[in-house]
Structure 1
């Protein structure tokens, strides 16, 4: 079993110095999609959070976001235009300032582009036009032409990521965003090339990966890292979008055809098991990863003990909320200073961890479902009421 302080070399030659990963987490720091000084400062403080650091999900076409944005200076970041490259260069530089690898997560949010409605009153698109009871706005159906434009958007995002100085990209196929929406029987009722059978529901994810890999060959250095993130199951209270039986088939189809460096499992708990297996998701996905493809797992790793335990199942361990609180969580474990780890957020710690104002408001809002430990300590720092969970929407035809 590998240890947390072991280096790792991906199949295309990139080497990282340890087995910690900072996973993608929304900073709510964009100014209408553009990375801000808050974004850059955050990454300067988090440059030691892992051997590999992954940005928040960055949308690749103008229709693809923003999601979870409640003010024009609290938006998700974007990469759909060359105008975003100068600030993204500064983000990449900040992320790499301690010698670790910087990965840009590229995504489209589909039906989840709530900020697109809330801030601009613009239409939101998804694989199928249907009523989602948890959304207070209308969802439109993508045309075939729009779908092909999204696929091209992923390719262009790779070009911009390379130009901005990132060491790789992660394709976001998890967390109910657009790629997952196409794969899910709940949200995809199409009967054309992009929906229907399991094979047809795989067509959009496969087309995105192909577009990305073609762009990597054209624009990127040989050791450029490419990963794919997936939620192993989509099980809702009233329906099942897919289970691990289908998602492992998708990953096998991807890794059989394309030479990815890693697969990233998005999990609520790193050792989670499905209801119909005695194995963890990490163990169930291992046989379909393909030769040399590494695995990342995330979920509930908030102590040195859990970080070490997670290594029983995986190649790389991602640390989420604990890294927000203490960006030196990994560094302290790797250097034998575990007793100095900070596990609750305070006003003083927000100055030491570079939390953006948007993150302060979002992770400690009164109605947020998953606050940081100690969230009540920083509510006095709010400069705007509420957060994404409390946002209101422009009264527009898209609401009808």
Structure 2
């Protein structure tokens, strides 16, 4: 049985001292233009103790890829001084600093983009309230975007980060190109699985070219993925397993499976014998480490994830309990915060912007869960 205190070795040459990660979470603490704030640096630094690595919230690689106000940006060299301070803050606690990079695609809006229309693989809106119809990207724009991911990788290296995580999950642009819901293209980027993977393949080539050219030290490249979509048409679990087969042939350091609960099973009746995390771990077949996440609030959950993965990412628990990892290491389990997150919003040590963002996020999630349970208990 793998222990979270064991080191984790990546093929890039980087070694983590422990198998605990701080999961990437949106906090909306950056300045309006995407510059890192002092509050943001302190937020990550205060949670870096005891974990092997911190993965920051998503940083956009292009201005048109901004997903929400208060979001990190890595789209220009002007952000480098504050990004360097962020990396150093995380590393000062002994953790590796990984910045997640992404493009929001259709999952943003004109208000966030100062009146500019959103873009995606195709002109198909997301199935969510008030979703705007994006403009289909031209081939030249696709090439510019994959190049932007390479430039963002260069900046992450220059800023002193230990790695990047490509945000290919949660319905953002990378996933939009692979999804048959958001991608209805009829050119070389649409149609078959192979064509819908083309954007990802070219993006990875751009990223690894930047690593080869600019990295003067071992540098992590990870990839986050969502296992399936509920839309029709949409990504099904079998599609994801096909994608994993492609990704495991790439020189990626890890795969990070985005789940709200690590025990969750697929909606596909053909994959009910075990959790999606377990299926993905088996599909990877030891070719790269798998990070599991979702509902980790205590030692038992950490052990539960490691039964089907190689490392554990911790999200909201670290948000409300910044020294959670240190408590695990010291055996102080009785001091771990265990109250419902909804009860902690007003008492947790959070600044006003993050408190109000978290309030909206958690209450909205609780409402969605309640609605789901009500509809399935009729």
Q: What TM-score do you get using the length of structure 1 for normalisation?
A: 0.85
1:266 equivalent to 2:258? Answer: yes
Give the 3-state SS of the residue equivalent to 2:71 in structure 1. coil
Asked if structure 2 preserves the Cα contact closer than 8 Å seen for 1:117 and 1:123, the reply is: no
Asked if structure 1 preserves the Cα contact closer than 8 Å seen for 2:106 and 2:132, the reply is: no
Q: 1:128 aligns with which of 106, 111, 122?
A: 122
1:59 equivalent to 2:60? Answer: yes
Asked if structure 2 preserves the Cα contact closer than 8 Å seen for 1:53 and 1:102, the reply is: yes
- State the partner residue of 2:238: 245
Give the 3-state SS of the residue equivalent to 2:364 in structure 1. coil
Q: 1:205 aligns with which of 193, 200, 203?
A: 200
Asked if structure 1 preserves the Cα contact closer than 8 Å seen for 2:27 and 2:357, the reply is: no
- State the partner residue of 1:254: 247
- State the partner residue of 1:15: 15
List aligned pairs for 1:140-219, cutoff 5 A. Answer: 140-219=135-214
Counterpart CA distance in 2 for 1:131 and 1:365 is 23
List aligned pairs for 1:51-90, cutoff 5 A. Answer: 51-65=52-66, 67-69=67-69, 75-90=70-85
Q: Residues 127 and 7 from structure 1, CA distance in 2 versus in 1: closer, same or farther, beyond 3 angstroms?
A: same
Asked if structure 2 preserves the Cα contact closer than 8 Å seen for 1:92 and 1:102, the reply is: yes
- Deviation of residue 342 (structure 1)? 1.9
- State the partner residue of 1:328: 323
- State the partner residue of 1:376: none
- State the partner residue of 1:349: 348
Q: What TM-score do you get using the length of structure 2 for normalisation?
A: 0.90
- Deviation of residue 171 (structure 1)? 0.7
- Deviation of residue 169 (structure 1)? 0.7
- Deviation of residue 291 (structure 1)? 4.9
- State the partner residue of 2:2: 2
Q: Indicate the RMSD between aligned Cα atoms, in angstroms.
A: 1.9
- Deviation of residue 288 (structure 1)? 3.8
* Count of aligned residue pairs for this structure pair: 358
- Deviation of residue 251 (structure 1)? 1.8
Counterpart CA distance in 1 for 2:159 and 2:42 is 17
Q: Residues 34 and 110 from structure 1, CA distance in 2 versus in 1: closer, same or farther, beyond 3 angstroms?
A: same
- State the partner residue of 1:50: 51
Counterpart CA distance in 2 for 1:244 and 1:266 is 13
- Deviation of residue 360 (structure 1)? 0.6
- Deviation of residue 222 (structure 1)? 4.5
